[in-house]
Chain A
């Protein structure tokens, strides 16, 4: 039980906690602001603590606080009290656990020992995620049934049918990925995507298996009950769907669980199809060999990007009333940005000057890969939000039609052709 092992385990768990839980307010903020900008309106941007608005992230925390302090009400008509309380818990736990096997960085070698950079360092990540994504729908079904309410029951029934249909398609599209990658370890899959096809195209999942990528992304939307497949909540049809009778923190758990599931689905899609933690064209060995060049490039690029970001903030982050505390925020943020830049430049300069040992290089590479993973995760979450505010909800029969008559045959044909291709290529 060396200190290195303990610290790396704790670090992995903290990163997984941060990226899943702390990202929920950030995701809620992104959803509301991006939805506003798409619809030509501002999102929420007024909530401030002492003048600091941070573009509206404080609003998400205010929402969470509101959910905590609201009256926790359980209708008298509910007969199964345990099931009623248990269903949001199931949704939350399964979504949260399915996040825990995502690889954030390549295997870290410190002092000669190699550590797997996942919160749960198991090597059957794919099976774990499939299991827990499938379990999540139990929460919806239980919630719909235990609410003793027609609308909730309909919502739960529809959710169950939808998830079963799309689970079949998801499993089949993953089989073709397994055939290509050759392993169920998520870390192996990401390392496979570091190769280059024909010398210049990164072998990302979406390049080598575009059909499976499209299939999987569509079914990921359906699994997480996310528009255009959100008939379970059906905000305009079924009052609230399965979460009609829930208030305060029970609803908060459903809400947070849904966003964590969206985050987990995004992370899974990034891991399988978009290279995971790999920077394109720079796999781990290349990074470790050229770390000085990369530090120098970072020392140039980060100030330039910060300069343009500061200019954008000065133009857009203004508050119209002159004597309001919110007007001072831009100056503080720009000062903070300058401070961060100075610290980064000093740190990188010190590394370049004094040189890094092998352990230091490995740790810096791991940190770079974690940052890449988070950036890709945020971009995929933006894609989820973008599609939600573009597409109209599917009708129930159109949804089932799509799953059974269109997607399932395509998935089976994909496995067939992938198998033939793989055997012929001898890959």
Chain B
């Protein structure tokens, strides 16, 4: 049965004086201060809204958009899978007959309540036709009334994908 000696810190004279440690800490703080004062661009703060965030990647889930086929018709077939998959129940669809003969249905009304949406991407994963995507890169959606946050089908069709994202 041996005896284990535990090393205790803080007993040397330099530690108990406390002032050398304070001086070391103050040197660190002062070097930060002086570096930032000399050249303010050393500070990593993002001056929003003059500088926009630079780390919006391809997978970032922004505000939704509805995609179109090559002939500019709506890709969505109003199958209601996104509305079923949504955990926040914020997608409201009304279907109607499609005229062009490719599929049977298309949405007459397609609105998303952006105040309820949790931006989980479940609708994108559920859609069988790649009709809804969240790659607009829009992270800031501001309105003055609660009612204006319900985005209708024309706005959703008009959102553009982010620059550089795969179509």
**Contact: B50 with A320, CB < 8 Å?**
yes
B51 CB to closest chain A CB, in angstroms? 6
Interface of B is mostly: helix
Q: Which of B26, B30, B32, B50 contacts A319 (CB 8 A)?
A: B50
Q: Which of A34, A214, A319, A390 contacts B25 (CB 8 A)?
A: A390
**Contact: B36 with A37, CB < 8 Å?**
yes
**Contact: B33 with A41, CB < 8 Å?**
no
**Contact: B47 with A320, CB < 8 Å?**
yes
Number of interface residues of B (CB under 8 A): 20
B26 CB to closest chain A CB, in angstroms? 5
Q: Which of B19, B26, B37, B44 contacts A390 (CB 8 A)?
A: B26
In Å, the complex CA distance between A41 and B19 comes to 27
When distances are taken between beta carbons in the complex, the residues of chain B under 8 Å from A375 are none
When distances are taken between beta carbons in the complex, the residues of chain B under 8 Å from A37 are 32-33, 36-37, 43
In Å, the complex CA distance between A38 and B30 comes to 7
Q: Taking the complex as formed, is A315 at the interface, i.e. its CB lies under 8 A from any CB of chain B?
A: yes
Q: Which residues of A in the span 5-54 have a Cβ within 8 Å of any Cβ on B? A: 34, 37-42
Q: Taking the complex as formed, is B142 at the interface, i.e. its CB lies under 8 A from any CB of chain A?
A: no
With both beta carbons as reference points, the residue of chain A lying nearest to B42 in the complex is identified as A40
A residues within 8 Å of B by Cβ? 34, 37-42, 214, 315-316, 319-321, 386-387, 389-391
Q: List 17 A-B pairs, Cβ < 8 Å.
A: A37-B36, A37-B43, A38-B32, A38-B33, A39-B32, A40-B43, A40-B44, A42-B40, A42-B47, A214-B19, A316-B39, A316-B40, A320-B50, A320-B51, A390-B25, A390-B28, A391-B25
A316-B39, A391-B25 known; A40-B32 Cβ under 8 A? yes
Q: Taking the complex as formed, is B12 at the interface, i.e. its CB lies under 8 A from any CB of chain A?
A: no
Q: Taking the complex as formed, is B102 at the interface, i.e. its CB lies under 8 A from any CB of chain A?
A: no
With both beta carbons as reference points, the residue of chain B lying nearest to A383 in the complex is identified as B26
Q: Taking the complex as formed, is B22 at the interface, i.e. its CB lies under 8 A from any CB of chain A?
A: yes
When distances are taken between beta carbons in the complex, the residues of chain A under 8 Å from B44 are 40-41
In Å, the complex CA distance between A386 and B37 comes to 14
Since A316-B41, A391-B25 are in contact, a sample of 19 more A-B pairs with Cβ atoms closer than 8 Å, ordered by chain A residue number, is A34-B33, A37-B36, A38-B33, A39-B32, A40-B32, A40-B36, A41-B43, A41-B44, A42-B43, A42-B45, A315-B40, A316-B40, A320-B47, A320-B50, A386-B26, A386-B29, A386-B33, A387-B22, A391-B22
A184 CB to closest chain B CB, in angstroms? 29
In Å, the complex CA distance between A389 and B33 comes to 11
When distances are taken between beta carbons in the complex, the residues of chain B under 8 Å from A315 are 39-40
6 closest residue pairs by CB, A with B: A320-B50, A37-B36, A316-B40, A390-B29, A37-B33, A42-B45
When distances are taken between beta carbons in the complex, the residues of chain A under 8 Å from B36 are 37-38, 40
Interface of A is mostly: loop
When distances are taken between beta carbons in the complex, the residues of chain B under 8 Å from A42 are 40, 43, 45, 47
In Å, the complex CA distance between A315 and B38 comes to 10
In Å, the complex CA distance between A55 and B51 comes to 19
Most buried by B among A37, A42, A320: A37
When distances are taken between beta carbons in the complex, the residues of chain A under 8 Å from B37 are 37
With both beta carbons as reference points, the residue of chain B lying nearest to A46 in the complex is identified as B47
In Å, the complex CA distance between A41 and B22 comes to 23
When distances are taken between beta carbons in the complex, the residues of chain B under 8 Å from A391 are 22, 25
With both beta carbons as reference points, the residue of chain A lying nearest to B51 in the complex is identified as A320
With both beta carbons as reference points, the residue of chain A lying nearest to B25 in the complex is identified as A390
Q: Which residues of B in the span 115-164 have a Cβ within 8 Å of any Cβ on A? A: none
**Contact: B29 with A38, CB < 8 Å?**
yes
A219 CB to closest chain B CB, in angstroms? 15
**Contact: A386 with B50, CB < 8 Å?**
no
Q: Which of A41, A320, A321, A389 contacts B29 (CB 8 A)?
A: A389
B114 CB to closest chain A CB, in angstroms? 27
**Contact: B26 with A387, CB < 8 Å?**
yes
When distances are taken between beta carbons in the complex, the residues of chain B under 8 Å from A389 are 29
With both beta carbons as reference points, the residue of chain A lying nearest to B19 in the complex is identified as A214
When distances are taken between beta carbons in the complex, the residues of chain B under 8 Å from A321 are 50
When distances are taken between beta carbons in the complex, the residues of chain B under 8 Å from A41 are 43-45
When distances are taken between beta carbons in the complex, the residues of chain B under 8 Å from A34 are 33
When distances are taken between beta carbons in the complex, the residues of chain A under 8 Å from B33 are 34, 37-38, 386
With both beta carbons as reference points, the residue of chain B lying nearest to A312 in the complex is identified as B38
In Å, the complex CA distance between A391 and B25 comes to 8
With both beta carbons as reference points, the residue of chain A lying nearest to B27 in the complex is identified as A390
With both beta carbons as reference points, the residue of chain B lying nearest to A322 in the complex is identified as B50
In Å, the complex CA distance between A315 and B26 comes to 27
With both beta carbons as reference points, the residue of chain A lying nearest to B28 in the complex is identified as A390
In Å, the complex CA distance between A38 and B26 comes to 10
When distances are taken between beta carbons in the complex, the residues of chain B under 8 Å from A320 are 47, 50-51
In Å, the complex CA distance between A37 and B41 comes to 11
B27 CB to closest chain A CB, in angstroms? 9
B29 CB to closest chain A CB, in angstroms? 5
With both beta carbons as reference points, the residue of chain B lying nearest to A228 in the complex is identified as B22
In Å, the complex CA distance between A316 and B47 comes to 14
